[in-house]
């Protein structure tokens, strides 16, 4: 159902990704996440091409947290910011975070070694149905993603959409 991956470079941390459909309380969930009562990043699945994209964002966020160079204030915010090709934090939240009218929500949890995370507890707070991550491709808005990341037509010939997205995410701040 959900997927968990231990970050190789930060073995203390593992990343769990959960996907929910037919969500009715997106507004309430967003509030909870902002308050901190849900310790996870709530992401709009339409902008996500593959769970690998989430892992790349989470890896970068954890790295920046460890060296004290996050651009945002929390790890969860940093994950959302890392997904965005733009350096504007509020824009990142608007495009990659969830909005009150969303019916599908992706929740990313980064767990630090000893802390146990109660997935059932998180899932129970969502008024919706948890589905397998295999359903993600159906929820992706490919056109929106291409526009957001400004994918060129030449690029599409040499790799997948995921390739282009990940490349931009990882080199965003290289200049």
Partner 1 sequence: GAPRMRCVGPSMAAAQTEAGGARSVTAGAAGPAMGDAEPVGPGMGERGAAGPAVDGPEGEAGTATVAEEPPAPPPLPGLRLVQQGAEAHVYRGLFLGRAAVAKLRVPKRYRHPALEERLSRRRMAQEARSLLRCRRAGIPAPVVYFVDYVTNSIFLEDIVDSITVQDHIYSVQKSGGDTSGLHKLAEKMGELLARMHDEDIIHGDLTTANLLLRPPMEKLDLVLIDFGLSFISGLPEDKGVDLYVLEKAFISTHPDTETMFQALLKTYAATSKKSGPVIKKLDEVRLRGRKRSMIG
Q: 19 vs 37, 76, 153, CA distance in Å?
A: 19, 16, 30
CA distance 105 to 59: 20
Q: At what angle do helices 51-66 and 75-83 cross, to 10 degrees?
A: 130
Q: Whose Cβ is closer to partner 1: residue 44's or residue 164's?
A: 164
The DSSP result for 30-69, as a single string, is HHHHHHTSS-SEEE-GGG-S-HHHHHHHHHHHHHHHHTT-
Q: Whose Cβ is closer to partner 1: residue 34's or residue 162's?
A: 162
Q: Which of residues 129-158 bind partner 1 (CB under 8 A)?
A: 152-155, 157-158
Q: Whose Cβ is closer to partner 1: residue 142's or residue 152's?
A: 152
Q: Which of 2, 14, 63, 74 binds partner 1 (CB under 8 A)?
A: 63
Q: Which of residues 65-84 bind partner 1 (CB under 8 A)?
A: 67
Q: At what angle do helices 51-66 and 161-171 cross, to 10 degrees?
A: 10
- Please state the closest distance from residue 171 (CB atom) to partner 1, in A: 5
CA distance 122 to 133: 16
Q: How many residues bind partner 1 (CB under 8 A)?
A: 28
Q: Which of residues 2-61 bind partner 1 (CB under 8 A)?
A: 5, 7-9, 11, 52, 55-56, 59-60
- Of 1-9, 18-26, 87-95, 116-124, which segment contacts partner 1 by CB under 8 A? 1-9
Torsion angle (degrees, nearest 10) of CA 152, 155, 161, 166:
-90
Residues that bind partner 1 (CB under 8 A): 5, 7-9, 11, 52, 55-56, 59-60, 63, 67, 152-155, 157-159, 163-164, 166-168, 170-171, 174-175
């Amino acid at each position: 159902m959900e997927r968990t991956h231990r970050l190789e470079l930060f073995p203390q941390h593992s990343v769990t990704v959960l996907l929910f459909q037919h969500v009715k309380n997106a507004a309430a969930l967003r509030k909870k996440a902002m308050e901190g009562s849900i310790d996870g990043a709530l992401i709009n699945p339409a902008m996500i091409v593959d769970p690998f994209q989430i892992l790349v964002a989470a890896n970068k966020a954890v790295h920046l947290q460890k060296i004290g160079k996050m651009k945002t204030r929390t790890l969860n915010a940093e994950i959302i910011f890392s997904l965005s090709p733009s350096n504007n934090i509020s824009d990142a939240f608007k495009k990659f975070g969830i909005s009150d009218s969303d019916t599908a929500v992706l929740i990313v949890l980064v767990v630090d070694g000893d802390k146990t995370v109660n997935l059932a507890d998180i899932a129970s707070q969502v008024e919706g149905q948890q589905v397998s991550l295999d359903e993600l491709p159906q929820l992706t808005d490919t056109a929106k993603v291409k526009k957001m990341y400004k994918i060129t037509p030449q690029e599409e010939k040499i790799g997948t959409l995921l390739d282009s997205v990940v490349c931009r995410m990882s080199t965003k701040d290289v200049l």
